[in-house]
Amino acid sequence: DIDINAAPCNIKRTHKVFKDDFAKDSIDPVYSSPRTDYAGFAKPMFNEKDRRVLRITGRESLNSFFDVSLLSYRLREHGFLAKTKVSFRPECEHQTAGLCIIYDALDFYLISIALSPDGKELIRLTKSDKGVISMPESRSIRLPEDGVELFISSEDGIRLCFGYDIEGRTEYMAESVLTSILNDEYCRGFTGTQVGMYVHDLTGSGACADFSYFMVE
């Protein structure tokens, strides 16, 4: 079992930090997206409050082999902290936005803002294991106006920590999550594990989420 109070995200790291605040008009070429050019769904811009954001338009789910709105960064280290801040107001349970760690379309974890079927605002952890979807944990929250900070981290490349920062508090989700579904042997391929910003809108109405920054250290 993992002691979540050990907080892998608080470990001091010595390797290079990648941080993007989307100050440029073009997207950094370090990112990748599955099958399609990310210019079709992601755009750096000023939001309604005159702040720089990356606006991502939701399309199909991460399990789709077609139009997926995922902008991802390849992990270079076993130990890492990935973090972003996202503003999103889902209108139904078929819309979500957040941060994922992914090997391929069938194998990933996603921590995201979502709605329950009865309309409650949630932070939700989703797992896809060879395409079988489960939801290890969901928490009802009140979404702040300026967005929620989400993070995924690992100290050793074996165990994952998921959580969010809200109203000055750091909250952790799921006590024991392993990276065993995110490797070449399990997935029978070679894409490498990536972390990224993701939005889907299964209604087809193109709901958008604004990301204030993205970092990996």
Binned at pLDDT 50, 70 and 90, residue 6 comes out as very low
Compute how many other C-beta atoms are within 10 angstroms of the C-beta atom of residue 75.
18
The reported pLDDT for the residue numbered 3 is 40
Q: Which residue has the higher pLDDT, 12 or 196?
A: 196
User: What pLDDT is recorded for position 63?
Assistant: 93
In the predicted structure, residue 5 carries a pLDDT above the cut 80:
no
- Looking at this protein, which amino acid is placed at residue 177? V
Closest CA to 200 of 92, 83, 121: 92
Query: Looking at the whole model, is its pTM more than 0.75?
Result: yes
Q: Which residue has the tokens 């299964």?
A: 202
Reported as a single tens digit per residue, the pLDDT across 165-198 is: 988 889 999 877 888 989 888 887 677 899 999 9
- Model confidence at 152, in pLDDT bands (50, 70, 90)? very high
What per-residue confidence (pLDDT) applies to 110? 97
CA-to-CA distance for 89 and 107, rounded, in angstroms?
A: 26
At residue 36, the pLDDT reads 84
SS3 label, residue 79:
coil
Q: Mapping DSSP to helix (H, G, I), strand (E, B) and coil, where does residue 45 land?
A: strand
Q: Which range, of 14-18, 29-33, 106-110, averages the lowest pLDDT?
A: 14-18
**Quick one: DSSP state of residue 8?**
G
Mean pLDDT confidence for 129-153 = 92
CA 104 to chain centre: 14
Percent of the chain with pLDDT over 90: 71
Give per-residue pLDDT as tens, 79-99: 999 999 999 999 999 999 999
Tell me what the pLDDT averaged over the chain comes to. Answer: 89
